[in-house]
Amino acid sequence: MTDGAILQVGGLHPTVERELATTYGALRLPPEPGDAAAFLAEHGPDVTVAVTSAGMDAALIGALPRLAAVINLGVGYDAVDVAALKPRGIVLSNTPDVLTDCVADLAVGGLIDVFRGMSAGDRFVRRGEWAAGRKFPLRRRVSGTRVGILGLGRIGRAIAHRLEAFGCTISYHNRRRVDDVAYAYAASPVELARGADAVVVVTPGGPGTQALVSAEVIAALGPSGYLVNVARGSVVDQDALVAALTSGALGGAALDVFTDEPRVPEELFALDNVVLLPHIGSATVETREAMAQLVIRNLERFLADGTLVTPVPL
């Protein structure tokens, strides 16, 4: 299919890096911008396929005139400038399905943690406060609560399914109503937040969902409401979230994603009603290996016949 070169953009799972280097003799984009410019001037015209997890901006895509496919490690592809791919007919694949369970597990785990104070309780024990005779404050019950899912896609459904086993009442908001579920549909994120004890954010990132969880949505959740975000930091107005958490206007949050990772607002470090995680939704040995294998299968398929196993509709 291609007589061109394969380019690795950013760090990847070791299985993918090994395969790219040994089977395909892939080129690797230098991390330093100055080195990258010289590299692209020399090798850019040869590259037909890029493999990435870090993403690709319009300038990088523009520096690869023969680029025909971008193979993304990750289900979310908001770091790839899709608008720059489309007019050139460049195809894109991602890694759906294989990570659904792990991301759903982490979302439910984060929700339980922030409601019950598991991480906070662990710190309490380690600080010796229990041994010193202090009482850990009572926290909130998970079973039977009302949970709003913002984005009822594959992962949103898996989260809802798990929470049904906890007797939770599930509602959701999507751009479009989903036909085959019995969950209540909320017409807007604000309406979703008004009718829920917790909102779990699991939409795609990108321009279409930028700050969808606005100050108004956070206010609608209120002092006894909780926010769980396993999607992208960009989906939440992070300044409004930090303000609400520090003032007590929001009950708590479990956050796996942030707007400027790996930077996390330091104001949150002292808050025991906030669970902070280092973007680990899919980060298990099993799931990352499955994602790596899916990347390799997409690459093989594209090189064999120009199609993809898991194409993103552009």
Contact positions vs ligand 8YV (CB under 6 A)? 53, 73-76, 99, 279, 281-282
Nearer to ligand 8YV among residue 53 and residue 209 (C-beta): 53
Q: Which residue's CB comes closest to ligand 8YV?
A: 74
Half-sphere exposure in the Cβ direction for 312 (13 Å, CA): 26
Closest Cα to residue 236, out of 275, 200, 270, 268? 200
Q: Supply the minimum distance, in Å, between the C-beta of residue 227 and ligand 8YV.
A: 18
Q: Supply the minimum distance, in Å, between the C-beta of residue 281 and ligand 8YV.
A: 6
**Apex 13 CA angle, 43 and 11, nearest 5:** 45
Catalytic pick from 157, 173, 232, 288?
232
Q: Supply the minimum distance, in Å, between the C-beta of residue 72 and ligand 8YV.
A: 8
Nearer to ligand 8YV among residue 73 and residue 196 (C-beta): 73
Judge whether 261 counts as a catalytic residue.
yes
Judge whether 13 counts as a catalytic residue.
no
Catalytic pick from 13, 43, 116, 279?
279
**Apex 305 CA angle, 302 and 306, nearest 5:** 50
The one-letter amino acid at 139? R
Contacts 24+ apart (CB under 8 A), 95-98: 95/290, 95/291, 95/294, 95/295, 95/310, 96/154, 96/310, 97/154, 97/310, 98/287, 98/290, 98/291, 98/294
Cα separation, 68 vs 88, whole angstroms: 8
Nearer to ligand 8YV among residue 117 and residue 156 (C-beta): 156
Closest Cα to residue 228, out of 203, 263, 194? 203
Catalytic pick from 42, 216, 261, 267?
261
Nearer to ligand 8YV among residue 110 and residue 281 (C-beta): 281
> Torsions phi, psi of 71, nearest 5?
-105, 110
Nearer to ligand 8YV among residue 40 and residue 227 (C-beta): 227
> 253 CB contacts (<8 Å, ≥6 apart)?
114, 226, 227, 228, 229, 241, 245, 273, 274, 275
Q: Which helix (H) or strand (E) holds 158?
A: helix 154-164
- Tell me the β-bridge partners of 200: 149, 228
Distances (CA, A) of 141 to 116, 138, 145, 248, 302: 7, 10, 7, 19, 49
Q: Supply the minimum distance, in Å, between the C-beta of residue 104 and ligand 8YV.
A: 13
Q: Supply the minimum distance, in Å, between the C-beta of residue 75 and ligand 8YV.
A: 4
Q: Supply the minimum distance, in Å, between the C-beta of residue 95 and ligand 8YV.
A: 6
Nearer to ligand 8YV among residue 42 and residue 261 (C-beta): 261
Return the active site residues.
232, 261, 279
